[in-house]
Amino acid sequence: MSTPGDVARQVMWNRLISVVEEQAQALVRTAFSTSVREAGDLSAGVYDDRGLMMAQAVTGTPGHVNAMAESVGHFIRRIGRENMFEGDVYITNNPWEGTGHLHDITVVTPAFRQGRLVGFFACTAHVVDVGGRGFGADGASVYEEGIHIPIMKLAERGTMNATLIAMVRGNVREADQVVGDIHALATCNGIGLRRLAEMMDEFAMADLSDIAAYIFENSRRATLERIAALPRESAASEMVIDGFATPITLRVALEVRQDRILCDFAGTSGTDPRGINVPLVYTKAYACYALKCAVAPEIPNNAASLAPFEVTAPEHSIVNAVHPAPVALRHVIGHMIPDAVFGALDLILPGVVPAEGAGSLCNFQVSLRPVVAGQGARAEVLTFNSGGAGARPAFDGLNATAFPSGVMTMPIEATEHTGPVIIWRKELRPDSAGAGQYRGGLGQVMEVGAAEGYQFDFSAMFDRVGHPARGRRGGAGGAPTTIARSDGTAMQGKGRQAVPPGKRVLLAFPGGGGYGDPEARDKALIRRDLARGYISAEAAQADYGMGADEVGEVLDAVARGEWTE
C-alpha cells in the first residue's frame, strides 16, 4: 500500500475535524439538558491509539476539550488495553481525571479496525444535576457535591451497564435528563466511529499512525515557529477576584523560551473552604487556551500544538486543588485564568491581548418547589448567561458574550420551558462597559422569579462583584456584578440562598474593561453608542467629554426617528 502524499493527508486532517464536529452536533441535537442543547457546554475529539488528541470539534468549550485532551490517557491506564473490546463505552465524572468537576460527564469509546485498536473518540457534557447539595459552591468537600463515577465501563461489547444506570438514577434529582445525556454522549461517539470507518475505507487506511504523525509534526513545527518569533522575556502579573468569603489573588509568571512558554502560578491563593477550587487539569486548559489565542490562534488544537505551553501551579493552591477539595464551581475561578495570563503577556507583547472582561460565566441555578406540598412538581433549572468581554486593541468588546468559555447565552424560552421559572426581564445593561478608545462589552440585566404557587432557592455563581474587570492601556474598568432581591435585600455573589414566595431576584452582570485612552475614541462611535442606549447622556459627558448640546442633538434625532448610523 502506498503512503499518501501531503495533499491527501491534509484532506484527511480536515475530514477528521469535520468528523468530530458532526460528533459534537449530534450531541447538541440529542442531549436532554439545556446546558448542552442551548448553551453548547460540551466538547468532542478524536485521539490516536496512544490517547493523544488529533482533532477537536469547533463546537465546544476550551475548558472541556483542553482538559479532555489529558483524560483519555487516564482511561487507557485505568481500563487497560487488554480489557478493551469492540462495542465498549467508558465513562467518568472524576474531576481530576475528567474535566474538573462532577457535573461534567466524559464518555470515551475505543475505535477498532479489523479487530485492532486504532484510536478513541471522547466527548464531555455538563449535566444538570449529579445529586449532593446541587450545583453550587456550598460544599466543603467533593463528597458533598454529588455522585462520583470512577472510570469504568458504561457498556461492554455493546451491553449497557444496567447497574451503573440504576445507581445514577438513584442519586440524582433529574434522573431522566442525566441518563438521557449519558446515552446522548455514547451515541455521538458512535457517530464518530461510523464516520471514521467510512474515511478509513475511502483512503484504504489500516490505522491512524501515519495521519497522526503528520498532524502532530506539522502542528508542533508551526507552534514552535510562532514561539521562536517572540522576544525572550519574562513577566509577571496578578489579579484579585471575589472568591467566596474572602478575595483571591491569582499570580502568574510567564517565561518565553526558544521552544516553549512556561506559565507558573506560584504565589496564588491557597485552596478555598468552599467549592470554587480548580483541579490542575482545568487550570492548564485555560492557561494554554489564553497563550494559544495570543501566540498561535490559527493552528488547530491537538496534543502537539498544546504541548509547548507548560503550566505549573503549587499543590493546594486554588488553581491546583487536590482531592477531596470541593470543586463544583471550578469554572468561576478557571474562567478568570486567561485574564490573569493576559496581564503578564501584555508586558511581553504590548498591543496584542484584550482588556479584562467578565471572565466567568454568569450562571445560576433555581431549585423550585410548590408552596403547598403536593401541588406541583419540584424542578431544577440551570441557566447560562454572560457579562461583557474586554475591549480589544483595535475593536470594542463584545456585548453579553462569554469569553473565554465561548458558551452561549441561553434563550429565555428554553429556560422557562424546563420548569416553573419566569424571566421577567433580560436586556443589555447601559453604562456597564468600560470607557476607552475601544469600549468594553456590555453586561446584561435580568429579573428572575417563580411561577405562581412556587417558591425557590437561588444558587448564585458570580464573580466581579467586588473586583470588576480592569481596563488596559488607559481604558476604564467595567461595571461590577450586582445581585439583590426585589424587596431590596442584598444577596451574595456565590452560594445557595432562599427567596421568599412572591419575591424576585434582580441581577446586573458585569461589563468588560475598556482599551486605550477614552479621549482617543472616535466621536462617531460615541454618538452611535449614545443613540443605541449603550451609554447614557451622563456617561457620554463624563467619560468621553461630549458636550450637552451634542448629547441633546443625538437624543432628539433618536426621539424623532431620524437617527442614522
277-295 pLDDT per residue, tens: 999 999 999 999 999 999 9
pLDDT, tens digit, for every residue of 40-55?
889 999 999 999 999 9
3-class state of residue 86 by DSSP: coil
> 55 is in which domain, residue-wise?
6-220
Same structural domain, 19 and 166:
yes
HEC-encoded secondary structure of 470-523: CCECCCCCCCCCEEEECCCCECCCEEEEEECCCCCEEEECCCCCCECCHHHCCH
| Rounded Cα–Cα distance for residues 304 and 97 (Å) | 20
- As given in the structure block, the three cell numbers for residue 352 are 496584542
Instruction: Say if 245 falls within a structural domain.
Output: no
pLDDT for residue 4 is more than 90:
no
Name the domain boundary from 220, 239, 270: 220
pLDDT at 454: 95
Instruction: Say if 545 falls within a structural domain.
Output: no
Given the C-alpha cell 475535524, which residue does it identify?
17
Kindly indicate the confidence band of residue 2, based on its pLDDT and cuts at 50, 70 and 90: very low
Instruction: Say if 160 falls within a structural domain.
Output: yes
Instruction: Say if 21 falls within a structural domain.
Output: yes
Kindly indicate the confidence band of residue 3, based on its pLDDT and cuts at 50, 70 and 90: low
Instruction: Supply the mean pLDDT for the chain.
Output: 96
pLDDT, tens digit, for every residue of 376-424?
889 999 999 999 999 999 999 999 999 999 998 889 998 999 899 999 9
Write out the E strands in 24-115.
42-48, 53-56, 89-92, 104-113
Name the domain boundary from 192, 220, 248: 220
Average of pLDDT values for 155-180?
97
Q: Which residues pair with 395 in a beta bridge?
A: 392
pLDDT, tens digit, for every residue of 461-500?
999 999 999 999 999 999 999 999 999 999 999 999 999 9
H or E element that contains 159 = strand 159-160
Contacts of 264 (CB under 8 A, 6+ apart): 252, 253, 254, 255, 311, 312, 313
Backbone angles phi, psi at 249, to 5 degrees: -110, 125
Q: With b meaning 16 or more CB within 10 Å and e meaning fewer, what string describes 461-473?
A: bbbbbebbbbbbb
| Rounded Cα–Cα distance for residues 191 and 261 (Å) | 37
Instruction: Say if 191 falls within a structural domain.
Output: yes
Number of domains in the chain: 2
Per the confidence metrics, is the pTM higher than 0.85?
yes
Instruction: Say if 363 falls within a structural domain.
Output: yes
3-class state of residue 170 by DSSP: coil
Residue 407: what residue type?
A: V
Average of pLDDT values for 183-198?
97
Edge-to-edge strand ranges of the sheet holding 248-256:
234-241, 248-256, 261-264, 309-312
Instruction: Say if 272 falls within a structural domain.
Output: no
Instruction: Say if 14 falls within a structural domain.
Output: yes
pLDDT for residue 322 is more than 90:
yes
Q: How far is CA 530 from CA 476, 527, 545, 558, in A?
A: 17, 5, 13, 10
pLDDT for residue 1 is more than 50:
no
Average of pLDDT values for 341-359?
98
Kindly indicate the confidence band of residue 66, based on its pLDDT and cuts at 50, 70 and 90: confident
Name the domain boundary from 195, 220, 245: 220
The DSSP code for 97 is T
Q: How far is CA 513 from CA 6, 258, 361, 521, in A?
A: 45, 33, 16, 14
H or E element that contains 341 = helix 337-348
